[in-house]
Amino acid sequence: MSKQPPPELSVVTANRLADGAVVFLTGEPGWTTDLQAARLLDESTELEPLLAGVRGAGLGANVVGPYAIEVGIVDGIYRPLSLRERIRVDGLTFRTIASEAVAYI
Amino acid sequence: MKLLKDGRLTADIWQRLADDAPIPATGAIIVPLARLEAEAPDLLRRRGPVGLVLRNSETVEAVVPHLHSLSLIVLEFPKFTDGRAYSQARLLRERHRYVGELRASGEVLPDQFLFMQRCGFDAVETCCVAAEEAWRAAHRRFSVFYQPAGDGRQTIAAFRSQSARLGLDQ
Amino acid sequence: MYRYDSLDQTFVEERVAQFREQVARRLSGELSEDEFKPLRLTNGLYLQLHAYMLRVAIPYGTLSSTQLRMLAAISRRYDRGYGHFTTRQNIQFNWIKLEDAPDALADLARVQMHALQTSGNCIRNVTADQWAGVAADEIEDPRIYAELIRQWSSLHPEFSFLPRKFKIAVTGSPNDRAAVRVHDIGLRMHRKKNGEVGFEVIVGGGLGRTPMIGKTICDFLPKRDLLSYLEAILRTYNLAGRRDNLYKSRIKILVHDIGAQEMARRVEAEWSEIRHSALELQPGTVEAIAAHFATPRYDASAEAVHAVERRRFTDPEFARWLTSNLAAHRHPAYAIVNLSLKPSGAPPGDASAAQMEAVADLAERFSFGEIRVTHEQNLVLPHVARRDLCEVYDELRRIGFATPNLGKIGDIIACPGLDYCSLANARSIPIAQRISTRFADIARQHEIGDLKIKISGCINACGHHHVGHIGILGVDKGGEEFYQITVGGSADENAALGTIIGPAVAADKVVETVEKLVNTYLALRREGERFIDTWRRLGSSAFKEGLREAA
């Protein structure tokens, strides 16, 4: 069993309304598909008011279901701590069959 | 909150009676089931229509002895996802032939108007801005239905047998 | 197979128009997500980890070549060029955009398909035996009744907001390939001595957090009473099913709490009021639907097909394919050809657009234009003349769907799991890939024999792990993927839930554990015993012993 570092850093993530794409809240504020451009929140951020502000109309209008996820910084790069969120960022952990293929490689 | 009855926004003449309030001599009042059962004679004696608000955890069977004295039954959707009142409505209309006003209250969404109409509701309490148009649209926009409900709309199966009898092709 | 008339067509087109308008109101902000979500789910559109997923209904798993071609087109036009066949005989596309969904549904409507009620707390796709209409052991084609139920349940105004989802399955054969005992309602056809055919009605089966085997509440229901009886069950459930706890809302909990006898009593009481209503099925109605499922004009003769027999001796892989992937057809000159969508190392149940189109072409040439989808994530060509088997086999090899492993250890059923699904605790597809790679050798698969491995990435059990001969359930242990192994489950007429045989194992130990179980079986089996038979004879202690031994 691996030891998780204490939750210090997080970002807010959601899915984009129109196409379902995974997006992250930026500092502007806005939404980006690039995790590295996300606004990093530390333990001093009050998450609940922030999340309330990005649900519903305004900033929440074009996304679905914002929530906070824990990230770590590895070699200067933001990486989600949980497997689930890593999959959301990186995509499937296996290669799918290509549209014209008749054999799985 | 507005009352939409038979597709028209209407003034609501009905008042929900507070639990501890005495029964007024006149006026249209709505009482819960417990009160209807306990005070039926007093309620009937007065001049003024009597309505019932039935919780969706209460049974339609309990209402049956009182149906003849009710001009309004209010059924509840505590959350729009809680669909018990659809069954209650059908039982009241189709099984027990209730002919008074059947009103939906609670979390009522315009996208549910068609289901409500088909189950026998003729009134809804709604906050929807374009409620009259939404009710009309629900009536109009669908022309074919598979299953029989108390709304009397001809089902697809009935239409098919009719066509077959008449020798018509689909 | 069923073909829409203008009424069915109008029904789907009106719903597509309604959904298009609802999507527009959502995108403009007029509808909130809370208001829109049930409307989206009613049209089969889920939000998963990466994107929206569209689950298209394939009623009782029957498809035409035209429809399969459209599914391929949808995967190309709106998705990433592949689709996934599910454990409820549906197909899923994983990368659909909400703004494209109305167009995709309009395309589907053009070929008499839809995604209605494949999600949400309503009556879902009615599933049936994938060999319906062609199985040698069938009493009557259950799809006639599945179609009647489908129509009755389509946007039913009373049952669109049930306590929870509702799944119905029908089998027309005493060999239950539809898993009727683990559905909310299972219908099993029986024939009385006097020849009358009716239904055994089974209620309250299900998998998930609290798996249960369904209870029979009616031994023999005449056909004409089918819809009224179902309506009585649904009304009883709608009014009495729990709504306070998501994990206790299925009908199986109600049946468990009040008992099967009380359930039967309540249903019969309600049913007695409506059995002679407009829901009573008229013979004409049943006949009209049955006409859609008439036997095709089989024209092959039953004499021995020499080319097939010769090749059986000269081509060992072909011989294996004949043994494992064909099923007995009621017509002696025909065969049921099962397509394995489980080549070793592949994600189970996926098909590329090119594969779907090739299967559609093959079906058109050799199967009267008809394909079936199984709840084990495979496809079927139900009407193949034996004289065409060599040609069909060669084409299936080219397509990649000829792996001779049907029902064998390589024929794994797996849910999408944490790679796709926001409900999952762990991944299932990579586990399936590892197992199927380890057991890739076909001779070994045939040596091991019939063995169904079913993998679920979470307790919702979409992979049906409870009824796998070996079941694998992904769990989250401190942020790591662990897998609980069960043995002895079965989805057929001897339905049983698997037994946990030890603590959950880490991902990198799953294959080793499966291997130990297989080796235990091989060491202890008697002549003719399948894995499940040895388990039933010896029980868990023998297999637990095998796990304790060194690999």
- DSSP for C38-80 reads HHHHHTTEEE-SSSEEEEE--GGGEEEHHHHHHHHHHHHHHSS
- Quick check: C97 and A19 CB within 8 A? yes
CB < 8 Å to B156, chain C: 7-8, 11, 151
Interaxial angle between packed helices C101-110 and C65-78, expressed in degrees from 0 to 180 and rounded to the nearest 10: 160
Give me C268's structure tokens: 């019969």
Host H or E run for residue C128:
strand C127-128
> How far is the alpha carbon of C11 from chain B, nearest alpha carbon, in Å?
6
- Do chains B and A have 3 or more beta-carbon pairs under 8 angstroms? no
DSSP state of A81: S
C168-171 and C185-191 strand pairing: parallel
Interface contacts B/C by beta carbons within 8 Å: 94
Say whether C215 sits in a helix, a strand or coil: strand
Residues of C in Cβ contact (< 8 Å) with B147:
151-154, 156-157, 279
Q: What is the mean pLDDT of chain A?
A: 90
pLDDT number for residue B47: 86
Q: In sequence order, what are the residues at sequence separation of 6 or more whose Cβ sits closer than 8 angstroms to the Cβ of residue B152?
A: none
Q: Give CA separation, B28 vs B20, B24, B71, in Å.
A: 17, 9, 9
Q: How many domains does chain C have?
A: 4
Residues C139 and C284 in one domain: yes
pLDDT of residue B163: 87
- Report domain extents, chain B: 2-143
- Which residue from C417, C493, C457 is spatially nearest to C205, judged by alpha carbons? C493
Mutate to test the interface with C, among B56, B79, B86, B116 (most CBs of C within 10 A): B86
- What is the distance in angstroms between the Cα of A26 and the nearest Cα belonging to chain C? 19
Tens-digit pLDDT profile for chain C (551 aa)? 999 999 999 999 999 999 999 999 999 999 999 989 989 999 999 999 999 999 999 999 999 999 999 999 999 999 999 999 999 999 999 999 999 999 999 999 999 999 999 999 999 999 999 999 999 999 999 999 999 999 999 999 999 999 999 999 999 999 999 999 999 999 999 999 999 999 999 999 999 899 999 999 999 999 999 999 999 999 999 999 999 999 999 999 999 999 999 999 999 999 999 999 999 999 999 999 999 999 999 988 877 788 999 999 999 999 999 999 999 999 999 999 999 999 999 999 999 999 999 999 999 999 999 999 999 999 999 999 999 999 999 999 999 999 999 999 999 999 999 999 999 999 999 999 999 999 999 999 999 999 999 999 999 999 999 999 999 999 999 999 999 999 999 998 899 999 999 999 999 999 999 999 999 999 999 999 999 999 999 999 999 998 887 54
For C346-398, write each residue's pLDDT tens digit: 999 999 999 999 999 999 999 999 999 999 999 999 999 999 999 999 999 99
For the stretch C385-422, pLDDT in tens is 999 999 999 999 999 999 999 999 999 999 999 999 99
Is C124 within the bounds of a domain?
A: no
Q: Are residues C436 and C487 in the same domain?
A: yes
Name the closest residue on chain A to residue C78, using Cα atoms. Answer: A19
Asked, for residue C123, whether it belongs to a domain, the answer is no
A64 touches A19 (CB < 8 A): no
Domain edge (last residue) among C351, C367, C399? C399
C419 and C533 assigned to the same domain = yes
Q: What is the mean pLDDT of residues A70-90?
A: 95
- Tokens 């527009």 locate to C24
What one-letter code names the amino acid at B24?
P
User: Over the stretch C64-101, which tens digit does the pLDDT of each residue have?
Assistant: 999 999 999 999 999 999 999 999 999 999 999 999 99
Helix and strand numbers, DSSP H then E, in chain B = 5, 8
Cα distance between residue B158 and residue B160, in whole Å: 5
Task: Tell me: do C146 and C199 sit in the same domain.
Answer: yes
Q: Where are the alpha helices (H) located in C414-524, listed in sequence order?
A: 429-438, 442-448, 510-524
Residue C180 and residue C274 in one domain: yes
What is the domain extent for residue C91?
Answer: 6-110
For residue B163, what are its two tokens? 């066509």
Summarised one tens digit per residue, pLDDT across range C450-488 is 999 999 999 999 999 999 999 999 999 999 999 999 999
**CA pair distance C70, A31, nearest whole angstrom:** 35
pLDDT per residue as tens digits for the range B120-157? 999 999 988 889 999 999 888 899 999 999 888 889 98
C287 & C153 share domain: yes
Least CB–CB distance from C161: residue in B82, B95, B144: B82
How many residues belong to chain B?
A: 170
Q: Which amino acid makes up residue A70?
A: E
Beta-bridged to residue B126, according to DSSP, are B2
Q: Select from B77, B87, B112 the residue whose CB has the most chain C CBs within 10 Å, as the one to mutate to test that interface.
A: B87
**Where is B40: in which H helix or E strand?**
helix B33-45
Q: Is the pLDDT of residue B77 over 70?
A: yes
- By the 8 A CB rule, do C531 and C521 touch? yes
B149 CB neighbours in chain C (<8 A) are: 157-158
The alpha-carbon gap from A50 to the nearest alpha carbon of chain C, in Å, equals 19
The CA R_g of chain A, rounded to the nearest whole Å, is 16
Q: Is C161 within 8 Å of B114 when comparing Cβ atoms?
A: no
For A4, name the nearest residue in chain C, comparing CA atoms only: C479
At C477 the three-state DSSP class reads strand
Does the pLDDT at position A5 exceed 50? no
C242 and C327 part of one domain: no
Token pair of C345 as six digits: 């190392």
Which CATH entry fits the domain spanning B2-143: 3.40.50.450, 3.20.20.70, 2.40.50.140, 3.30.70.20? 3.20.20.70
Q: Answer yes or no: do C432 and C508 share one domain.
A: yes
B62 close contact with C: CB closer than 8 A? no
- C356 to chain A: closest CA residue: A102
Task: Please judge whether B170 and C155 are an interchain contact, meaning their C-beta atoms are less than 8 angstroms apart.
Answer: no
Full 3-state SS string of C345-413: CCCCCEEEHHHHHHHHHHHHHHCCCEEEECCCCCEEEEEEEHHHHHHHHHHHHHHCCCCCCCCCCCCCE
C-alpha to C-alpha distance for C533 and C518, rounded to whole angstroms: 13
Alpha carbon C446 to its chain's center? 24
Q: Cβ C160–B83 below 8 Å, yes or no? A: yes
What are φ and ψ of residue C145, in 5° steps? -80, -35
Instruction: Give domain status of residue C83, yes or no.
Output: yes
Residue C404 lies in a domain: no
Q: Name subunits touching C (3+ CB pairs < 8 A).
A: A, B
Asked if residue C143 belongs to a domain, the reply is yes
Residue A91 reports pLDDT greater than 80: yes
Distance from CA of A22 to the nearest CA of C (A): 6
C78, C186: one domain: no
The pLDDT, as a whole number, for residue A56 is 79
> What is the chain C residue with the closest CA to A93?
C419
Which residue type sits at C435? Answer: I
pLDDT confidence of residue A47:
87
Long-range contacts of B80-83 (CB under 8 A, 24+ apart): B80/B106, B80/B107, B80/B108, B80/B109, B80/B112, B80/C38, B80/C161, B81/C38, B81/C121, B81/C161, B82/B56, B82/C161, B82/C243, B83/C121, B83/C158, B83/C159, B83/C160, B83/C161, B83/C162, B83/C238
> Which residue do the tokens 């059995």 mark?
C275
Cβ proximity of C167 and C184 under 8 Å: yes
Rounded to the nearest angstrom, the minimum Cα separation between C165 and chain A is 22
Q: How, if at all, do strands C45-47 and C215-222 pair?
A: unpaired
Q: Predicted ipTM?
A: 0.96
- Are residues C143 and C271 part of one domain? yes
Contacting chains of A (3 CB pairs or more, <8 Å) are C
Sheet arrangement for strand C62-64:
C62-64, C370-373, C379-385, C334-339, C326-328
Q: Are residues C320 and C389 in the same domain?
A: yes
CATH of the domain at C313: 3.90.480.20
Q: In whole angstroms, what is the distance from residue C200 CA to residue C183 CA?
A: 13
The pLDDT value recorded for residue A1 is 45
Q: Are residues C195 and C80 in the same domain?
A: no
